[in-house]
């Protein structure tokens, strides 16, 4: 078996250095043997874009998607759209849906309608379409649909023979299962799948988001463990210049945990909702109410903060119902429920 040249230039025709018979997972393995992970990923990215193989062009879209190379993915989608292969054109249509969902520029109802139009007998494409529907269900907080997906997931996977796609589909599955069990408040199972995803996922951005969410699963447990994951996420965000993620962690997630555990020393934020949360933790309820009266109560968290600041059972119950009815979120619904229990003890 031939090995890949280790002195590839960034703009070189990488596809010319690869034996045509190699599959994508073999290419990735060879590159990882000769390069550090970041360089191997970069070379694989270029290879996926430059390859003339119909199979690589299809599977390369999965590599680019899972690794969050979204601009490159659009380029490869366009290439597949122009392919003479019907299969490649259908794969391109599905990944175009994934891209548009990420960009949030197309109504979800339109995306689902287009997904329903795609007919295929390819098990890989059937699985991708199911993942697409599940992502929409997660965004809509329709977690019951995830349970339905899990019932047919093994059947879908059993019909796929490609080791590369199976490994990447399993990463997708671990991420879905983490959210599913987290929102059902089944934390042992949730964390199990989160750590499986962390150990396998190649995308730094996805690792950051997983660390953030893992940190939040410790909302009722320990500040130290929650902050460990927040600091991991913050370190990765700074290292890779993910400024928006860094801002979210500093302005929202760390202040949220700090207020939750009354660890407010040295914590500040420009996010008004979390400013109010911090003031409540400090005992400054009137100041928290003033802040909340100036902003829309457009999340169940802000409604909860107002109920907490006012010690108002009706507002706290409204927050609880909003978490459950609008988000099917049994994890964070414990915030107002715990506050209601504390009010009962106090009175």
- Per-residue model confidence as pLDDT tens digits over 22-31: 889 899 999 9
Per-residue pLDDT at 14 exceeds 90 = no
C-alpha distances (whole Å) from 120 to each of 90, 93, 124, 125, 149 are: 8, 12, 9, 7, 18
d(C-alpha 103, C-alpha 317), whole Å: 34
Task: Compute the mean pLDDT over every residue in the chain, rounded to the nearest whole number.
Answer: 90
Domain annotation covers residue 324 = yes
pTM (predicted TM-score): 0.87
Last residue of a domain, one of 210, 236, 270: 270
Per-residue pLDDT at 208 exceeds 50 = yes
Does residue 255 sit in the same domain as residue 284? no
Does residue 330 sit in the same domain as residue 277? yes
- Provide the domain count of the chain: 2
User: Over the stretch 277-318, which tens digit does the pLDDT of each residue have?
Assistant: 999 999 999 999 999 999 999 999 999 999 999 999 999 999
Per-residue pLDDT at 108 exceeds 80 = yes
Domain annotation covers residue 144 = no
The pLDDT-based confidence of 142 (bands split at 50, 70, 90) is: confident
The pLDDT-based confidence of 11 (bands split at 50, 70, 90) is: very low
Domain annotation covers residue 227 = yes
- Mean pLDDT (whole number) for 131-135: 92
Give the CA angle between residues 222, 142, 232 to the nearest 5°. Answer: 30
Does residue 254 sit in the same domain as residue 299? no
Per-residue pLDDT at 2 exceeds 90 = no
Per-residue pLDDT at 3 exceeds 70 = no
Higher-pLDDT residue of 157 and 252 is 252
> What pLDDT is recorded for position 346?
58
Look up the domain containing 306 and give its range: 273-347
Domain annotation covers residue 231 = yes
Domain annotation covers residue 79 = no
Does residue 260 sit in the same domain as residue 292? no
Per-residue pLDDT at 20 exceeds 70 = no
Per-residue pLDDT at 1 exceeds 80 = no
Per-residue pLDDT at 98 exceeds 90 = yes
> What pLDDT is recorded for position 6?
40
Domain annotation covers residue 201 = no
> What pLDDT is recorded for position 203?
86
Does residue 278 sit in the same domain as residue 344? yes
Does residue 293 sit in the same domain as residue 305? yes
Domain annotation covers residue 206 = no
Last residue of a domain, one of 270, 303, 326: 270
User: Over the stretch 178-198, which tens digit does the pLDDT of each residue have?
Assistant: 998 998 899 999 999 999 999
> What pLDDT is recorded for position 27?
92
Domain annotation covers residue 241 = yes
Does residue 281 sit in the same domain as residue 346? yes
- Mean pLDDT (whole number) for 201-213: 93
Last residue of a domain, one of 207, 240, 270: 270
């Amino acid at each position: 078996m031939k090995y890949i040249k280790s002195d590839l230039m960034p703009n070189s025709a990488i596809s010319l250095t690869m034996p045509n018979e190699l599959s994508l997972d073999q290419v990735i393995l060879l590159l990882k043997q000769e390069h550090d992970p970041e360089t191997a990923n970069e070379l694989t990215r270029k290879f996926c874009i430059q390859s003339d193989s119909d199979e690589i062009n299809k599977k390369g879209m999965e590599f680019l998607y899972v690794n969050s190379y979204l601009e490159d993915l659009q380029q490869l989608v366009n290439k597949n759209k122009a392919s003479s292969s019907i299969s490649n054109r259908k794969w391109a249509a599905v990944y175009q849906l994934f891209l548009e969902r990420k960009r949030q520029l197309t109504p979800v109802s339109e995306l689902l309608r287009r997904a329903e139009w795609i007919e295929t007998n390819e098990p890989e494409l059937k699985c991708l379409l199911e993942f697409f529907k599940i992502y929409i269900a997660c965004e809509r907080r329709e977690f019951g649909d995830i349970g339905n997906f899990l019932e047919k997931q093994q059947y879908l996977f059993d019909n796929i023979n490609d080791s590369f796609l199976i490994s990447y589909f399993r990463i997708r599955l671990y991420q879905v299962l983490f959210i599913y069990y987290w929102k059902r408040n089944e934390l042992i199972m949730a964390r199990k799948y989160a750590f499986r995803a962390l150990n396998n996922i190649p995308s730094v951005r996805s690792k950051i988001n997983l660390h953030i969410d893992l940190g939040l699963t410790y909302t009722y447990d320990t500040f130290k463990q929650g902050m460990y994951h927040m600091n991991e996420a913050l370190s990765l965000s700074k290292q890779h210049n993910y400024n928006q993620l860094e801002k979210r962690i500093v302005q929202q997630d760390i202040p949220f945990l700090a207020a939750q555990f009354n660890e407010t020393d040295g914590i500040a934020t420009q996010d008004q909702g979390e400013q109010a949360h911090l003031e409540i933790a400090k005992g400054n309820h009137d100041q928290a109410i003033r802040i909340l009266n100036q902003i829309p109560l457009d999340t169940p968290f802000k409604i909860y903060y107002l109920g907490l600041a006012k010690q108002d059972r009706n507002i706290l119950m409204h927050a609880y119902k909003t978490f459950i009815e609008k988000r099917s979120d049994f994890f964070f619904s414990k915030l107002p429920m715990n506050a209601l229990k504390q009010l009962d003890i106090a009175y």
